[in-house]
Amino acid sequence: MANIFPRWSNWLPFKIIFCLLVLGGGVSAGVWYYLNPEYMRVGYQPSQPVPFSHKIHSGQLGMDCRYCHSFVETAAYSNVPTTQVCMNCHSQIQRENPKLQPVRDSWQTGKPIEWVQIHKTPEHAYFHHSVHVNRGVSCVSCHGKVNEMDEVYHAETHSMAWCLTCHRNPSEFIRPVSEVTNLDWKPEEGKTQHEIGSALVEQWHINPPVKNCAGCHR
């Protein structure tokens, strides 16, 4: 009796399985790579209503972060400055600059400037700025070298795993509280971040929530 199925069909199941594995692997790899904060978020740089340059203000002029983000040491949120804060200086300088027209409009009309949010914590996670900046976590650790950015972009992933790298090993990131807003700070000559950080962690009894979910999720 002749074979019902031709000979090539012997390999067919294996081929199908192989293709499915490749396809499944590809999809998994794609999801793993693309649907990840590292890909989705890092580099996010929306255009703002006013092309405010942190590089000029913070980097060149050396303004402290807290001049504008004034409540970062007291509140959970680091506030975006009011139009009034912009006008403190810009009522004197760059008065004709067309880029600042929205600021002047806002000041005259009382309508706020609608900045586009870049760093967004998910609704089930509660990040508290003041407890970080008062305990030696620098702005740069989460926001990158903002003082070198013309327009701010998302520099770090802000994923939970990323948070935990510091919560598990704070000594790699902690610096003296006075240097928190100094984004160019380097450990002094002859010392490593680890040495300085370890000493501070011990001295200040740094004990961030590691396994306590409620530290961030309420």
Partner 1 sequence: MSKRIFQHPAESQTGKRYWRSLGQLQDSPDFRQWMQREFPQGASELEGNDVSRRGFLQFMGASVALAGLSLASCRRPLKNLVPFTKALEWSVPGKALFFTSVMPGRNGGMPLVVTTFDGRPTKVEGNPLHPVNKGSTDVWAQSSVLDLYDPQRSKEVLFGGKKADFAAFNKELDGLLKAAGDGAGLAFLTDGAVSPTRDRLRRRVLAKFPKAKWASYEPNGKDLELAAAEVAFGVGSEVVNRLDRADIVLTVDRDILGVEGDIASVRGFAAKRKVDGPKAKMNRLYVVENRYTLTGGMSDHRLRLAASRTGAFLKALSIEVAKLSGDKSLNALAGGLKATDVKFKDKWVEECAADLWANKGKCLVLAGHKQPVAVQALAFALNASLGALGKTLEVRKAVSVPTDSIASLAEELRKGSVKALFILGGNPVFNAPADVHWAEAQAKAGTVVHLSLEQNETSAKAQWHIPAAHYLEQWEDSLASDGSYIVGQPVIMPLYSGINSNELLAKVAGVDADPLVLVRETFAEVTGASGEYSAAWAKTLKSGFAAASASKTLNATLRGDAVAKAISDLPAVRLGENEFELVFIADSKVDDGRYANNGWLQELPDPVTKLTWDNAALMSPAAARKLGVDTGDVVRIAQGEKSIEIAVLVLPGHADNSVSVAVGYGRTEVGSIGKNVGVNVFPLQTTADRRFLTGVTVAKTGKRHALAVTQEHGALEGRGADLTRQATTQEWTENAENKDFFKKMGIDAHAPTNFSLYTHPPLDDVHGWGMAVDLNSCIGCAACMTACQAENNIPIVGKEQVINGREMHWMRTDRYFASEGGDEDEPEMVSQPMMCQHCENAPCETVCPVNATVHSEDGLNVMAYNRCIGTRYCANNCPFKVRRFNFFDYNQRSITDLYRWNLISEKGTPDSIQMQKNPNVTVRMRGVMEKCTFCVQRIQEAKIASKVLASDSGVVPRVPADSFTSACAQVCPTDAIVFGDIRNPDSRIAKLKEDQRGYRLLDYLNTENRVWYLARIRNPNPKMPDAARAGSASKGGHGHGGNHEHASSQNGGHA
User: Binder to partner 1 among 15, 99, 128, 168 (CB under 8 A)?
Assistant: 128
Site string for partner 1, 37-76 (x = CB under 8 A): ---xx--x-x------------------------x-xxxx
Q: Are 192 and 151 in contact (CB under 8 A)?
A: no
For residue 46, give both structure tokens.
Answer: 């929306």
Helix-helix angle 83-90:101-109, to 10 degrees: 120
Least distance between partner 1 and beta carbon 83 (Å): 4
- Residue with token string 């939970």: 160
Nearer to partner 1, 191 or 217 (CB): 217
Fill in the amino acid letter for 215: G
Nearer to partner 1, 3 or 108 (CB): 108
C-alpha neighbours within 13 Å on the C-beta side of residue 76: 6
- Residue with token string 């010392």: 191
For residue 93, give both structure tokens.
Answer: 């300088």
Distances (CA, A) of 63 to 147, 153, 200: 10, 19, 27
For residue 101, give both structure tokens.
Answer: 């027209």
Q: Is residue 187 close enough to count as binding partner 1 by CB under 8 A?
A: no
Nearer to partner 1, 53 or 130 (CB): 130
Q: Is residue 95 close enough to count as binding partner 1 by CB under 8 A?
A: no
User: Binder to partner 1 among 116, 184, 195, 199 (CB under 8 A)?
Assistant: 116
Nearer to partner 1, 7 or 205 (CB): 205
Nearer to partner 1, 27 or 76 (CB): 76
Task: Calculate the CA 122 to chain-centre distance.
Answer: 13
Q: Is residue 212 close enough to count as binding partner 1 by CB under 8 A?
A: yes
**DSSP code for 121:** -
Residues that bind partner 1 (CB under 8 A): 40-41, 44, 46, 71, 73-77, 79-85, 106-107, 110-117, 120, 122-124, 126, 128, 130-131, 134-136, 176-177, 200, 203-205, 207, 209, 211-215, 217-218
